[in-house]
Structure 1
């Protein structure tokens, strides 16, 4: 039978898709091989560099590099990433930290938010948390006067953080960048927009590559954000909650590339990826593609968000920027480790853990829901409660109509049932919600229970259970 035009067209389309797939696979293979080479070279470079912590005084570092520029070809130039960044100020310590916070900053036409962002990072963290953290700031503007002035301000305001190895300031010279004009106009962006977003990708490639090896994990921020209290402790808890489940990126904000967390072992590959495809699309698009290429199909985002965008004016042309994350909380819950139990029948994959994990999911229970049914949180260790928030229902539906909130000092297991004993009733749900601040209890508790007090005919959603503890509250208040 003769082929129709549609058949021929479909074959051509299929061929084009196969060609594109092979091209992507080739590029990914190149990235992996290149990253392996850099990893080996990095191991050779890092050992002598870390034999002794060094303090580089910003005043002695010239702002004009005399090194030979890297090749303009992006594939060849990608091998220059590791040697392209200069440390302007700070102390690189030998011991690896838990978390690196990376941000890039450029000269803005209107307001600058960098110093405010740094102050938020440090002031919202305890000294214990700061001892496990290093903040890396890339001054990514080509205006040497602005770089020097900004560096002076950072050194003046954060000299202690610099000397203690908690803050590093870096810079890459203009001649080390690939071409930034005459680039592809993907998404029909104007040439100046393409230049801006392409340079930003290269900025982050330098920043990410420099940060590899400084800590176990790396989180990306912008230079105009506020941080929630104890964000490192919250991040640590969320990482632990993933257990052995594979992941590439964990997200702690829903805006752009704010609050994207990576394992440090993935940073060399991420740097190469951002560099090789720097002119193709904006950074947040590339980060999504990187995640999917490494086989994490869906985003893993935690609520509440730990970072809030605060800038009023964009770094691109100073345009007004109203972006806000409505999931942000200044003081996120502690939710100490616990086991979750219920005798309410679970609908599909909406498990009891979803109500307590502070992720995007929720518990969904099916009828019959009878008086005496329970939803119980059994803490791994005794805790002193400070603040409790319980939210049920979704969009006004599937509320838990009648229930008491209780705490207990002991846990008793009888067969498949778990009991919370030595109870003290804190109060009742009102219109499906419960909140109590400054919980007044003389003793620590081992369990928190929601006990149904009347039959109900509708299903129930427990959307969110948040717990703040008195110990964590006191620790978080000891900020700089």
Structure 2
């Protein structure tokens, strides 16, 4: 079907080859990979292997400010939030529920310049955080900011909402300087998910790291 769609008997082989390349869909790494060297066809040996298979990184490590991390989502095997925060692996949690939180409590309050969280990875692209906000707790009482006309979106327990995960599973942004030093940053889940959740990248950039 594919060849009959693009090839014509009056075209040259090279022309048809270029035409097929325009419509052929490629995935890196490939969606399916042959395991072993023996084919299901009698007597055939399959030695081909996608060069990209197994080489796409599943997480991206960063150096983050020292913090105590707590996960309200049960982790799978060794894929803990602590190890993900240290850049050793990715976090993989089971079925987030409404009210679940991933909490980063900094050893010393910090000025957060930027934050970046990426959920899902190359092998499990659907394991994202959905309907989840990024919230920070300043050292000072957050209610003071609401009365000061800053226009911050506050939670009922005094956190300030500074971002949320988009459809691609990414949450990124900057924290307004007027908020001051941050004691806690958390990811707050607002609805249950049909998928597990992966955090493949965690990057909290403080004022020292931004110099």
Alignment of 1:374 onto 2:101: yes
Structure 1 residue 383 and structure 2 residue 110: aligned?
yes
SS at match of 2:64: coil
How far is the alpha carbon of 1:377 from its aligned partner?
0.6
Structure 2: how far apart are the matches of 1:409 and 1:422? 9
Aligned partner of 1:339 in structure 2 is 68
Deviations 1:328-382 (A, max 9, x none): xxxxx551101110111111111111221123x1111112x21111101111000
> What is the distance in 2 between the residues matched to 1:409 and 1:334?
22
Q: Secondary structure of the residue that 2:83 maps to in structure 1? A: helix
Q: Which residue of 2 aligns with 1:464?
A: 201
Cross-structure match for 2:132: 403
Deviation string for 1:406-458 (max 9, x for gaps)?
00125xxxxxxxxxx53110021002111114x21321001110000111111
Q: Deviations over 1:43-73 (max 9, x none)?
A: xxxxxxxxxxxxxxxxxxxxxxxxxxxxxxx
Name 1:246's counterpart in structure 2. Answer: none
Report which structure shows greater RCO (CA 8 Å, sep ≥6): 2
From 341, 358, 362, the equivalent of 2:90 is 362
Q: CA deviation at 1:384?
A: 0.1
Counterpart pick for 1:426 among 145, 149, 162? 162
Give the Cα separation in 1 of the matches to 2:127 and 2:118.
11
Distance 1:364 1:472 in 2: 27
User: Which consecutive segments of 4 or more residues in structure 1 shift more than 3 A?
Assistant: none
What's the counterpart of residue 6 of structure 1?
Answer: none
Is 1:352–1:362's contact at 8 Å kept on the other side of the alignment?
A: yes
Q: Secondary structure at the match of 2:191?
A: coil
> What runs of 5+ residues in structure 2 fail to find an aligned partner?
1-58, 140-156
Contact 1:334 1:472 in 2 (8 A): no
- Consecutive unaligned residues of structure 1, counting only runs of 5 or more, are 1-301, 305-332, 411-420, 475-480
Q: Which structure has more strand as a fraction of its residues?
A: 2
Match of 1:441 in 2: 177
Alignment check: 8 A CA contact 2:103 2:186 kept: yes
Contact 2:164 2:171 in 1 (8 A): yes
Q: How many Å separate the matches in 1 of 2:209 and 2:90?
A: 25
- What do the CA deviations read for 1:9-67 (whole angstroms, capped 9, x no partner)? xxxxxxxxxxxxxxxxxxxxxxxxxxxxxxxxxxxxxxxxxxxxxxxxxxxxxxxxxxx
After TM superposition, list the pairs within 5 Å mapping 1:71-150 onto structure 2.
none
Q: How far is 1:303 from its partner?
A: 4.9
Matched residue, 1:211: none
CA distance in 2, matches of 1:397, 1:303: 18
- Partner residue of 2:14? none
Bigger share in helix: 1
1:354 is paired with a residue whose SS is helix
Q: Over aligned residues, Cα RMSD in angstroms? A: 2.1
Q: Distance in 2 between matches of 1:467 and 1:388?
A: 5
Structure (1 or 2) with the larger CA radius of gyration: 1
Cα 1:430–1:436 change in 2 (3 A) is same
**1:153-192 residue pairs with structure 2 within 5 A?**
none
